[in-house]
């Protein structure tokens, strides 16, 4: 399945590019994700926790930076993980790039995702909605942490140590299910009446 998402950040393209390449700073903004080990400067291990209604999923996997182009601000990541209770596996190739704008930078992403086993059945039809929620939470957390880092840099050296970064909460449970259901209902009526349904 291919998923495309984008979001805007109020930052210069070079500033955002360097921030996004710092995996240890960015990892707390990935909902449900935890960085567990840095293998080298382009390979990391981690955990991802998700929830579909009453079913909790816990993935352990590896992320590799497959390609990086500083001139075009483009990076390709490959990720693979196994559900730790044997409910399936996930493989993804994610290409991201930055586009500068007037006072903001747009982050665009294209992801090819393959799910196998029980997890593929659980997430069927919900993956685009889950991706949209994850992207929005990531963007909100990124905004907050970059703003906090900027305030700390501007503060006097005698002030207390920098506050802990904001951590994005995992997406899942009933709220996600209802959100995805409402989105599907909206799409159904949009097709039925040939226009957009109001939210």
DSSP per residue, 9-20? ESS-HHHHHHHH
φ/ψ bin of 87: left (φ > 0), alpha (ψ from -120 to 50), beta (otherwise): alpha
Is the model's pLDDT at 113 over the cut of 70? yes
* pTM of the predicted structure, to 2 decimals: 0.70
Q: What's the CA gap between 4 and 180, in Å, rounded?
A: 17
Burial 29-62 (b: 16+ CB within 10 A, else e): bbbbbebeeeeeeeebebebbbbbeeeebbbebe
Radius of gyration of the chain (CA): 18
Tokens representing 140 are: 């909100």
Fold designation for 2-193: Alpha-D-Glucose-1,6-Bisphosphate; Chain A, domain 4 (3.30.530)
% of the chain exceeding 90 in pLDDT: 24
Is-contact 79 90, C-beta < 8 A? yes
Is the model's pLDDT at 170 over the cut of 60? no
Query: Residue 174 gets which letter from DSSP?
Result: H
Greater confidence (124 vs 50) lies with: 50
Is-contact 77 93, C-beta < 8 A? yes
pLDDT digits (tens, 9 = 90+) for 27-52: 888 878 888 999 998 999 999 887 76
Is-contact 129 93, C-beta < 8 A? no
pLDDT at 197: 46
What mean pLDDT do residues 16-34 have? 84
């Amino acid at each position: 399945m291919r998923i495309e998402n984008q979001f805007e950040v109020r930052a210069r393209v070079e500033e955002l590019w360097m921030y996004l390449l710092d995996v240890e700073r960015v990892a707390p903004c990935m909902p449900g994700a935890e960085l567990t080990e840095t293998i080298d400067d382009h390979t990391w291990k981690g955990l991802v926790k998700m929830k579909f209604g009453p079913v909790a999923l816990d993935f352990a996997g590896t992320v590799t930076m497959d390609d990086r182009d500083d001139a075009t601000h483009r990076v390709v990541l490959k990720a693979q993980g196994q559900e730790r209770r044997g409910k399936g596996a996930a493989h993804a190739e994610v290409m991201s790039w930055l586009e500068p704008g007037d006072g903001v930078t747009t982050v665009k992403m294209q992801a090819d995702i393959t799910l196998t086993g029980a997890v593929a059945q659980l997430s069927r039809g919900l993956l685009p909605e889950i991706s949209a929620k994850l992207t929005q939470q990531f963007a909100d957390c990124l905004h907050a942490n970059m703003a906090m880092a900027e305030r700390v840099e501007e503060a006097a050296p005698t002030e207390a140590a920098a506050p802990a970064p904001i951590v994005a909460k995992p997406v899942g449970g009933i709220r996600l299910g209802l959100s995805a259901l409402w989105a599907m209902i909206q799409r159904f009526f949009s097709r039925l009446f040939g226009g957009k349904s109001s939210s």
